[in-house]
Homo-oligomer: A and B are copies of this chain.
Amino acid sequence: MAKKNKKSTISVGVIGSGSFATAIVKILSGNCKTIHWCVRSEFVKGVIEQRKHNPNYLTTVTFNTRDLSISTDINEVVEACEIIILATPSIYLSDALEKMNCNYSDKLFVSAIKGIIPKHNDIVAHYLRDVFKIGFRNQAVIAGPCHAEEVAMERLSYLTIAAAEDQYAETLKDLFSSSYIKVNTSNDILGNEYSAILKNIYAIGAGMANGLGYGDNFQAVFVSNAIREMKVFLDAIYGELPRDVNESAYLGDLLVTAYSLFSRNRNLGNLIGKGYTVKSAIQSMSMVAEGYYAAKSIYETATEKKMKLPIINAIYNVLYEEKNVEKQFAKLTNKLT
Which residues of A pack against B, CB within 8 Å?
Answer: 144-147, 150-151, 153, 155-158, 182, 184, 213-221, 223-225, 227-228, 231, 244-248, 250-253, 255-256, 259-260, 333-334, 336-337
What's the minimum C-beta distance from A225 to chain B, rounded to whole angstroms?
7
Residues of B within 8 A of A147 (CB): 215-217
Residues of B within 8 A of A260 (CB): 216
Residues of B within 8 A of A218 (CB): 155-158
What's the minimum C-beta distance from A155 to chain B, rounded to whole angstroms?
4
What's the minimum C-beta distance from A25 to chain B, rounded to whole angstroms?
18
Residues of B within 8 A of A216 (CB): 145, 147, 150, 256, 259-260
A216 to B225 CA separation, bound complex (whole angstroms): 21
B227 touches A336 (CB 8 A): no
5 additional A-B residue pairs with CB within 8 Å, beyond A220-B256, A224-B252:
A151-B217, A219-B256, A220-B248, A220-B251, A224-B255
What's the minimum C-beta distance from A188 to chain B, rounded to whole angstroms?
14
User: Looking at the complex, which one of B184, B220, B255 makes contact with A253 (CB distance below 8 Å)?
Assistant: B220
B217 touches A156 (CB 8 A): yes
What's the number of copies of this chain in the assembled complex? 2
What's the minimum C-beta distance from A24 to chain B, rounded to whole angstroms?
14
Residues of B within 8 A of A217 (CB): 144-147, 150-151, 155-158, 256
Residues of B within 8 A of A158 (CB): 217-218, 221, 336-337
Residues of B within 8 A of A225 (CB): 248
A256 to B213 CA separation, bound complex (whole angstroms): 16
CB-CB nearest in chain B for A228: B246
- 18 contacting pairs across A/B (C-beta < 8 A): A144-B217, A144-B220, A145-B221, A150-B216, A155-B215, A157-B215, A158-B217, A158-B221, A216-B256, A216-B259, A216-B260, A220-B253, A221-B248, A223-B251, A224-B251, A246-B246, A255-B255, A259-B259
Residues of B within 8 A of A153 (CB): 215
A1 to B156 CA separation, bound complex (whole angstroms): 54
A250 to B145 CA separation, bound complex (whole angstroms): 21
Residues of B within 8 A of A156 (CB): 214-215, 217-218, 333
Residues of B within 8 A of A182 (CB): 333-334, 336
A176 to B241 CA separation, bound complex (whole angstroms): 41
CB-CB nearest in chain B for A253: B220
